Amino acid sequence: MLLEQYQLEPERVADQLPGILDQEFMVAIGWDADQLLLQPPSDHPLLGWAQCIVPECLVDAATYGGLCTGCKKRLAHSDMTREAFIADPPPKTGGGTYKWLIDEWVCQVNGCPRPISSRQTDLCGSHAGGCRAVFGHVTAETIARYLQLPTTVALAPLGGCKVATCLRLTHFNGGLCRIHAVRWREDVKAEPRRDFEHWCRVEPGVALSGVANLRGLEASVVTELLAGIQLRAQQELRTRYTYLNTIANDLRCQQVSTIFELDPPPRQRAVANVRLLADRERVLAATELTDWARAEATPSEEEITASTQLARPIEN
Ligand SMILES: [Zn+2]
Ligand SMILES: [Zn+2]
Ligand SMILES: [Zn+2]
């Protein structure tokens, strides 16, 4: 039925599946096909999420009308009432949230393309080290003097982080951003025989409120996930971006070329999430054919045939 509805040919479903994606819907849910990130608006009726109530705070508060963990802490350390805090929140230290995903701060040395190593210095690691080498320590005063030196010049770019999911810049020579460098160090300490290249392919991205990261997945898997979201939306089912990240992480770990190859992972939470999207009957039931499918108390022969019809070409 899905094949008929969208005029898909069984042997070409993989090629044709992208064609069923409703571009208007993709825009509405914040799909960025270039970056492979889904950033649904927090007030989207089906993909929305509980953005912190503090103005201009873009962090997920987990409960609607609530404060995020960071704002709760800031409120606790202030002597303000909740109402006063929300009306006029003190500025955040560290300078915001979104920039860290893509638009990193770069070193304040003129023309230096490397990412900063800390907001305290606004210098890349190499220039912070250079400043320390010349003046013995890195303070606002020594940085100002260091920037005036004729020998303080821009360094060559180090490129992007090697982790497939990651959009951040390489921090040092290892080819990883700061967060992934820390994760790699911890992971390799726990499991010394870890393969670096494989780790880079499967490692999750930097978590960010309101962002589902579908990078590092096969294009066919991305299309299936988007089709799944679209079909769920047609049935008015909510899809949390956090669920998508969990599923995407499992799909990436298993390096599958279709969601139907996914082995249910052992974690109960993930199993429940996989069922939401990857269950064939559910995907099918979410289409127009639900009219007759709903009329059936149990899956009929017709439904089973329809499932097989959809699944076979996708599996091959
Ligand atoms: Zn907040
Ligand atoms: Zn620099
Ligand atoms: Zn990274």
Domain boundaries of the chain, sorted by first residue: 2-47+210-315, 50-93, 98-148
Ligand nearest to the CA of 184: 3
How many CB atoms lie under 10 A from the CB of residue 24?
7
Instruction: Output the CA torsion 76→77→79→81 (10° steps).
Output: -30
**56 C-alpha to ligand 1 centroid (Å):** 8
The pLDDT of residue 10 = 64
CB 155 within 8 A of CB 126: yes
**Residues of the chain falling short of pLDDT 50:** 1-2, 96-99, 265-316
DSSP E strands in the chain: the ranges are 31-32, 37-38, 212-213
Question: Ligand 2 center to residue 202 CA distance, Å?
Answer: 30
How far is ligand 3, taken at its centre, from the CA of residue 92, in Å? 24
Proximal ligand: closest to the CA of 56: 1
Interval between CA 46 and ligand 1 midpoint (Å): 22
Sequence letter at residue 164: A
pLDDT score for 172: 78
Tell me which ligand sits closest to the C-alpha of residue 117: 2
| Helices of type H across 46-94 | 69-77, 82-87
Distance from residue 78's CA to the centre of ligand 3 (Å): 34
Give residue 126 CA to ligand 2 midpoint distance, Å. Answer: 6
Separation of alpha carbons 139 and 169, rounded Å:
24
Distance (angstroms) between ligand 3 centre and the Cα of 146 equals: 29
Exposed/middle/buried for 143, CB within 10 Å: 0-12, 13-18, 19+?
buried
